[in-house]
Amino acid sequence: MIRIIQSEDFDPALLRRNNCEQQEIEGQVRTILSDVKQRGDEALRYYTQRFDSVSISDLRVTDSQLKQALDSMDPAFIRVLYQAADNIRAFHNLQLRTGFSVRPQDGVLMGQRITPIERVGIYVPGGTAAYPSTVLMTAIPALIAGVKRVIISTPPKQDGTANASILAAAQIAGVSEIYHVGGAQAIGAMAYGTSSVPSVDKVIGPGNIYVATAKKMVYGLVDIDMIAGPSDILILADDTADPVFVAADMLGQAEHDPLARAVLITTSRKLAVAVSDELDKQCRDLKRSAIAQKSIAQYGAIIICDTMEQAVTLSDCIAPEHLEICTENSDEILERVCNAGSIFLGNYTPEALGDYLAGPNHTLPTDGTSRFFSPLSVDDFIKKSSFLSYSKQALEKVADPVMRFAREEQLEAHARSIAVRLEKQ
């Protein structure tokens, strides 16, 4: 049963997750990372045997395994993968940017160069659920940005092979370098490098709390995309929304994980009650019913507000990963929203469209971090360098203010680096 709360009684603490195990997990991950750094492939094989109960000799997926995976897939699903890949490419190609250069005055040239990150490692979960959509959403923007080397690391199945749908999606995305390594040890392998797994400059991709913790610990040695937590959705709705649709979309997030969060904020008590009833009804038919029920009971909520203005304010406070706006004037509401990872407008735009096929990226900031993080994009795979050129005459015009600034900060050598150039005849 989901909680129905009046907005004046809502406390954000009701939606916070329990992080009491974090300290113990950090200790375990630190040990794994240290071991991988010291023992390389030997440690990777050890942890694969320990955590996945699989003995792996060749850590890299072979070309024949890649081909076999592609050949084994249902042709109808392969067509869906190609359709999704085309949409993702089309959307992310629009994000490409170029550098610029300007000459603001005689003798002065300045600008910005855009260069891709050279090596990127993608972590793709493959345990209780495998996500070929993650492969498309992460690899395609990296390749569009111009990343020279993209690798994927994913856990092996019990038979020692990687999930076929992940391998198929990788080939459709344009990636052929894939490793049978999962968990925190995979993050360590891509950060430090081993005899088999190359070190990269950036590690991206979702994973469980061990993977997320490992990414946090290697940040600084390599870049990462974000620290992703369990998925969440918030639906803003008025009395024009369909309770069947709303409940279905809430359960679409709840079935991910017992820690997933599904929230409805509405101005209609009638809708709130109807959605609560629909959640109970629809949940019974789900294969992952137990997971969804736990998620809804622990972290789900229906919040009733007096006005839509109040509802938008509360939504921005929660800062959801996914935001559905199921209102009569969804376009107007969109203009008032500040914090959301990805926004879905209208009663016929379920969040699942964004997960798989539409084109915008589904790698999104979770747990309130859409206040300051953005969805994964081509920008995550580029670097920006500024450049500057002054002639002697141009330098002479600004020498005095530069030297004055340097001396105000008591950095005399900075000032002298200007002065010696002026003295040179």
Q: Which residues, including other chains, have CB under 8 Å from residue 368's CB and lie 6 or more apart?
A: 318, 319
| Spatial contact of 238 and 257, defined as CB atoms under 8 Å apart | no
78: tokens are 């392969």
Task: Report the C-alpha gap between 276 and 270 in whole angstroms.
Answer: 10
Q: How many residues does the chain have?
A: 425
Task: Report the C-alpha gap between 363 and 413 in whole angstroms.
Answer: 47
Instruction: State the helix-helix crossing angle for 75-93 and 132-145, rounded to 10 degrees.
Output: 40
Helices (H), 117-182: 132-145, 164-173
62: tokens are 């072979």
Let me know if 92 is a catalytic residue: no
Select which of 92, 256, 278, 321 is catalytic: 321
Rounded-to-10 torsion of CA 396, 399, 401, 404: -150
| Spatial contact of 256 and 231, defined as CB atoms under 8 Å apart | yes
Instruction: State the helix-helix crossing angle for 132-145 and 164-173, rounded to 10 degrees.
Output: 20
Task: Report the C-alpha gap between 363 and 371 in whole angstroms.
Answer: 15
Select which of 92, 180, 322, 362 is catalytic: 322
Task: Report the C-alpha gap between 172 and 78 in whole angstroms.
Answer: 9
Q: What would you measure as the largest C-alpha separation in the chain, in angstroms? A: 87
181: tokens are 């390594």
Q: Which residues, including other chains, have CB under 8 Å from residue 131's CB and lie 6 or more apart?
A: 124, 125, 166, 206
Which of 383, 376, 384 has its CA nearest to residue 140? 376
Strand order of the sheet with strand 261-266?
Answer: 3-6, 301-304, 261-266, 232-237, 322-326, 342-345
Q: Which amino acid is at 300?
A: G
Helices (H), 40-129: 41-52, 63-72, 75-93
Let me know if 321 is a catalytic residue: yes
Task: Give catalytic residues, as residue numbers.
Answer: 321-322
